[in-house]
Amino acid sequence: MPAGTVKVNLIGASAIKDSEWIGKGDPYVVIMCGKREVTSNVAKNQGSTPVWNQKFHFYVDDSDTDVQIKIYNENALQTDDIIGTTTISLSDAFSQKKLPVTQYTLEPRGDIGLQISYTPKVKPAVRLTQSFPGPYGSQTHSSPYVQAQPEAKQDGEYFTGHYGQHHGQHHGSSTRY
């Protein structure tokens, strides 16, 4: 797969294990793509049917081929419980560029709703210039046919790249631009 940006739109989950004895669970998601990791917001008291509606961008290189999802239940006094996992191949996203919202099966139970898209990295074009002697000294001519492409815009969504502790020992944090 060529380098580019993978966008994961985290919608919500259903039928996941609610590991709370009293009240409803506080699930959150850790998404890993390649060596990068982001953590969603905690869905406080949403139990087995949490909704996040968050978007994350991952800058990927040639070796990144899947997205790993882990759902945890946040615990105040203990280590957070892992309550569901899945690994999603990015091959369909690479060929189709944007997948519809899809329910992916979690182990040991439940589903997670995601929309995944892929945008290949566009190499900036180089403006061609040519110098030639003229009656008033050397002159430079720029080609109007080659234009540089802008970098991926930062539209208020979450981008990976800044790491730190967020919900204990298992997770990195994401940065909002």
CATH of the domain at 53: 2.60.40.150
pTM of the predicted structure, to 2 decimals: 0.70
Q: 165 falls in which pLDDT band (50, 70, 90)?
A: very low
Residue 136 belongs to a domain:
no
pLDDT at 1: 64
pLDDT at 177: 36
Number of domains in the chain: 1
pLDDT, tens digit, for every residue of 84-118? Answer: 999 999 998 888 999 999 999 999 999 999 999 99
Residue 141 belongs to a domain:
no
Q: What is the mean pLDDT of the chain?
A: 79
Residue 144 belongs to a domain:
no
> d(Cα 110, Cα 106) in Å, to the nearest integer?
5
Q: 168 falls in which pLDDT band (50, 70, 90)?
A: very low
pLDDT at 101: 96
Residue 133 belongs to a domain:
no
> d(Cα 108, Cα 135) in Å, to the nearest integer?
78
Residue 127 belongs to a domain:
no
Residue 148 belongs to a domain:
no
> d(Cα 103, Cα 110) in Å, to the nearest integer?
9
Residue 131 belongs to a domain:
no
Contact 53, 12 (CB under 8 A): yes
Assigned token pair, 94: 């690479």
| Domain containing residue 55 | 4-121+153-176
Residue 147 belongs to a domain:
no
